[in-house]
Amino acid sequence: MRRLPRLGVVALLLLSPVALSAQRGSQASTGGTGGRATGQGPRGDAPTTPPLPNVRAVTAGMNPADHLIDKKRKLKLEDATVTALGTASAAMNERYAPMLARYDSLRTQVNMARNRTSSAMAPSIEEQQIARERMIVLVRTMAELRVQRTKDVDEALALLPEDKRAEGRTVLDEQAEDMVRTFRRSGPEGGAAAGGPPGGRRP
């Protein structure tokens, strides 16, 4: 059976910006780059790191039942199937809610830390440690969402007629790939430095 693109790739993309920012701050504080943080422009301008995706974007990339409903015309789904998917979607959103609330809180804190570490003034060692700890919790939260989504994908596909399930899985693969691309754009310099991992490609 084909495996869905691993949203665990997102975890790697999340970790990369904070690790790079902490390195920049360390170099700036020790004068390792001539007193200027790595990545700054010729006049000392601080680099800009795009913020992590908001909850709406993450939700759109997580709920497989919602995505199948969005593609109901492409999949030629009957009304009864769409209704069943709607019921499943509501239950999935309830399961995601506490994890997404945690993500939203951590996202705000991490975005603030990334702005701080991207500035010309280097953060303290304590601030860098706090940022790393928050990022670890954020990555764990995304891992929990990934595990739950894997279960929900199976539940959503089971609601489709048997002859629609293969196409439905392809549609959900594309949804997961879109989410990986969304997080990659949040990497340093718009994701260029975080482009190493394979972007959700199926093995």
pTM score of the predicted model? 0.66
pLDDT > 70: what percent of the chain? 62
Q: Distances in Å between the alpha carbon of 38 and those of 12, 28, 153?
A: 21, 7, 42
CB-based contact 69:89 (threshold 8 Å)? yes
CA distance 68 to 120: 46
Q: What is the pLDDT of residues 71-110, one digit of tens each?
A: 999 999 999 999 999 999 999 999 999 999 999 988 888 7
Higher pLDDT, 140 or 128: 140
Q: Taking 50 as the threshold, does the pLDDT of residue 194 lie above it?
A: no
Mean pLDDT to the nearest integer, 191-201: 33
* Mean pLDDT of the 4-17 span: 49
Mean pLDDT of 133-148: 89
Listed in sequence order, the residues at least 6 apart from 77 whose beta carbon sits closer than 8 Å to its beta carbon are 68, 69, 85, 160, 164
Tokens of 108: 């705000």
